[in-house]
Amino acid sequence: MTAPAIERLLSAANTSEIDRLHHLSTTCTLVGHISQLVHTLQRERGASSIFLGSRGHRFATHYSSRVSDSLKAAADLHHELEYWLSDLERLSEWGHFRDPRLLRQLADALETLEALDGLRANVETQAVTADDAMHLYNSTIRTLLSVVFEVADSACDPDITRILVSLFHFIQGKELAGQERACGALGFTLGYFDDAHRTTLATLIETQSRCFATFNEFADETLQTKWSEIQAHPGTTTLEHLRRLALETAHLPDNGVDAGEQWYALATQRIDALKNLEDALVATLEKSCGDGLEKVRSATANRPATVKPDEPFLSREDGAPIDSTIATHFNRSLIELIQTQNGQLQQLSDELADTRKALRQRKLIDRAKGLLMTHHGLDEQSAYRLLRTTAMDQSRPLAAVAQSIIDADE
């Protein structure tokens, strides 16, 4: 009875591992579709800023085109989600992979996407201000990014988790770059930046820099090289010049150049380059999932048959049982092997714990920002500045201050 039981347990373990990695792989494919939708919404938001800032005189056709791109990306996401849900339901018959937080975040994301129809109608009729439209687009994109966060937070493979952490921070940095494009497009189109928009622009530049630094920390060498190339591009230098002009000058000089469209074009060029790097990150993620699946399947196929009870566990080449001295030496080698493997597993576990700690801290900060925004009427940038200032004044970690705010609200 023992040998068949061992065989069944090992088979069940391998099947469960393959199913887990398969589900993670399909979930990561879903993340790729979310990143594409976020990209199209970012372009739509930027076009709406110029359209509304110019009172409908510019970018009317461009905005409609960007809306069409977003609708197609949303349809692709819905199609992939149907496959993902059917896959989830199949696996869940065995009680696996039920992640309520991820499922709720997906439901929230879909509900938020449905509300975009009303926003688009208001943009087209200019029944909404550029700032209000920007905030509503920001909220929609933030809900989509929360799905990526949950995937990264729930992944259990260390290599895949590292890539997901890198991807999450990169997408978030790119989203802040998109907000910067929309904010800058509005200011340059109007011909001036008031104190609020200048402060917002400065905060967006600072926070996206931190996100990209975290991405760079977790990224592999190839992706780091691609990032360096983006930073060294001549268009980035010109964009930096416009940034300084916006941050240092209240009323922009009228030199006959359409500064709003120039800013938008340069920012779009940079964001498109970021999208190419993001696609490379998604491809790296999908390859890592595929490699993990292939590794488990190969190990399953090559696993030796279960030893029969009436066979000696070890024997010499001539078939005689091995003597006790050699057996003792083998046992010592086996112990050393197990210790080595345990050390490797502990190292991976420690790395995973570090990445999850970073994710949890980020989640605390985002939740605290939400509370400050709700209870004190602050925008996202002001809420973050308040958190940061409080942390500096009290000489406490930012996450600890965020936790205090959350505890006080409960």
Condensed to tens digits (0 to 9), the pLDDT of residues 145-154 reads: 888 888 877 6
32 lies in which domain range?
2-294
Please, which pLDDT band fits residue 386 given cuts at 50, 70 and 90?
A: confident
Q: Are 49 and 261 in contact (CB under 8 A)?
A: no
- Domain shared by 177 and 48, yes or no: yes
pLDDT tens across 207-232, in order? 889 889 888 888 889 999 999 999 99
Q: Residues 7-17: what's their mean pLDDT? A: 72
Q: Please name the amino acid found at residue 195.
A: D
299 falls within a domain: no
Owner of token pair 């001539």: 318
Q: Please name the amino acid found at residue 375.
A: H
- Domain shared by 221 and 368, yes or no: no
CB atoms within 10 A of CB 335: 10
Q: Residues 384-399: what's their mean pLDDT? A: 83
Q: Are 110 and 79 in contact (CB under 8 A)?
A: no
pLDDT of residue 90: 66
- Domain shared by 103 and 219, yes or no: yes
Residue 318 neighbours by CB under 8 Å, 6+ apart:
none
Please, which pLDDT band fits residue 44 given cuts at 50, 70 and 90?
A: very high
* % residues pLDDT > 90 (the chain): 21
pLDDT of residue 305: 47
- Domain shared by 340 and 239, yes or no: no
Task: State yes or no: pLDDT of 134 exceeds 50.
Answer: yes
**The tokens of 388 are what?**
């940061």
**The tokens of 331 are what?**
């046992």
157 falls within a domain: yes
320 falls within a domain: no
pLDDT of residue 98: 57
- Domain shared by 261 and 391, yes or no: no
* CATH number, residue 399: 1.10.10.10
316 falls within a domain: no
d(CA 166, CA 214): 7
d(CA 374, CA 339): 52
pLDDT of residue 302: 63
75 falls within a domain: yes
- Domain shared by 398 and 332, yes or no: yes
pLDDT of residue 304: 54
pLDDT of residue 313: 40
Which one, of 46, 51, 102, 103, lies nearest residue 70 by Cα?
46
- Domain shared by 202 and 334, yes or no: no
pLDDT tens across 274-318, in order? 999 999 998 988 888 888 778 777 766 665 544 444 444 444 444
- Domain shared by 144 and 270, yes or no: yes
Lowest-confidence segment of 172-181, 184-193, 280-289, 342-351 by average pLDDT: 342-351
Task: State yes or no: pLDDT of 122 exceeds 90.
Answer: yes
Of 276, 294, 312, which closes a domain?
Answer: 294
d(CA 324, CA 372): 70
Lowest-confidence segment of 11-20, 74-83, 217-226, 392-401 by average pLDDT: 11-20
Q: What is the sign, positive or negative, of the torsion defined by CA atoms of 19, 25, 31, 32?
A: negative
322 falls within a domain: no
pLDDT of residue 355: 59
- Domain shared by 155 and 9, yes or no: yes
- Domain shared by 147 and 214, yes or no: yes
CB atoms within 10 A of CB 90: 12
Please, which pLDDT band fits residue 270 given cuts at 50, 70 and 90?
A: very high
pLDDT of residue 125: 94
Q: Are 44 and 112 in contact (CB under 8 A)?
A: no
Residue 123 neighbours by CB under 8 Å, 6+ apart:
48, 51, 52, 63, 133
* % residues pLDDT > 70 (the chain): 78
317 falls within a domain: no
- Domain shared by 119 and 236, yes or no: yes
Helix residue ranges, H only, 310-397: 324-376, 380-394
79 falls within a domain: yes
- Domain shared by 146 and 24, yes or no: yes
d(CA 371, CA 217): 30
Task: Supply the mean pLDDT for the chain.
Answer: 79
Please, which pLDDT band fits residue 51 given cuts at 50, 70 and 90?
A: very high
Q: Half-sphere exposure of residue 58, counting CA atoms within 13 Å on the CB side?
A: 16
Q: Residues 183-195: what's their mean pLDDT? A: 85
Task: State yes or no: pLDDT of 187 exceeds 90.
Answer: no
Give me the number of domains the chain comprises. Answer: 2
Of 245, 277, 294, which closes a domain?
Answer: 294
d(CA 285, CA 291): 10
